[in-house]
Amino acid sequence: MARHGGRGWYGRVLAAAVGVTAVAAATSVWTAQAGSTDGRNAGAGASARPAAPARVSVGIAHASDHGARGVNITIDDGPDPVWTPQVLDVLRENGVKATFCMVGTQAEAHPDLVKAVVAAGHRLCDHSVSHDTTMDTKSKSYQSQQILNAERMITKASGGVRPQYYRAPGGAFTPYSRHLAASRGMRPLGWNVDTKDFERPGTEAIVSTVKNQMSNGPTLLFHDAGGDRSQTVAALREVLPWLKEQGYSFGFPVR
């Protein structure tokens, strides 16, 4: 599938992203605290102590910060060098900001894309190191490794911008993982509308799922990695204008 919007815009976003302040790799998962409470580097001098993570609820977020008619677009499993730039194009063309739930290994492999996401005004979400959907059956030490190492990897790849949410792969939250994420300033993040785009059911089916399930709540789940996401890109091109026509506005999940 051809890229929409061309490489010119992506090149400009990437150039802007280079300006994001880089930070040194954390020596442990507990020292990845670069950034202010809004998730961005505070730009403090070398002698200043890094800001502590913001206090957030341990409850799984579904609501939008835009209220009853707000919609949260969330994009999982990337970044991906083929599909993330196309998703970014569609979001830009529609003036929509989204939350990108990134897998740690993907962020580490594609830091340019993480920076491009940040430079475009989107938010970051920790989606674990390796997207293990059985995390809820594993030990606390394993859950810690998956969550905290992903936080470190994403923060480093972004140039110092911390993830503001944690979404468990497949929704495999545990009380422990929710409390751990919240202690790091990452609000546990759920979803209300699962578009099933990862199954590649067809663009029409993805669009139909959104239209039929919007009464479930405001947080929509899409994917920009894990295979061919051409149907997702095409569906977003239809869904975003439709949501605007219905009177929805686009926000971020509550924190």
Catalytic residue ranges: 76, 223
Distance CA 250, CA 41 (A): 25
For residues 38, 12, 167 and 170, what is the CA-based torsion angle, rounded to 10 degrees? 170
Q: Residue 253, preceding bond cis, omega within 30 degrees?
A: no
In the three-class reduction of DSSP (H, G, I as helix; E, B as strand; rest coil), residue 115 is classed as helix
Contacts of 196 (CB under 8 A, 6+ apart): 205, 206, 209
- Tokens of residue 239, six digits: 């869904």
Asked if 46 and 40 touch (Cβ cutoff 8 Å), the reply is no
Instruction: Say which amino acid occupies 42.
Output: A
Asked if 131 and 169 touch (Cβ cutoff 8 Å), the reply is yes
Unique residue bearing structure tokens 């790799």 = 25
Instruction: Say which amino acid occupies 32.
Output: A
For residue 194, list its beta bridge partners.
Answer: 221
Instruction: Say which amino acid occupies 7.
Output: R
Asked if 37 and 54 touch (Cβ cutoff 8 Å), the reply is yes
- The rounded Cα 250 to chain-centroid distance in angstroms is 15
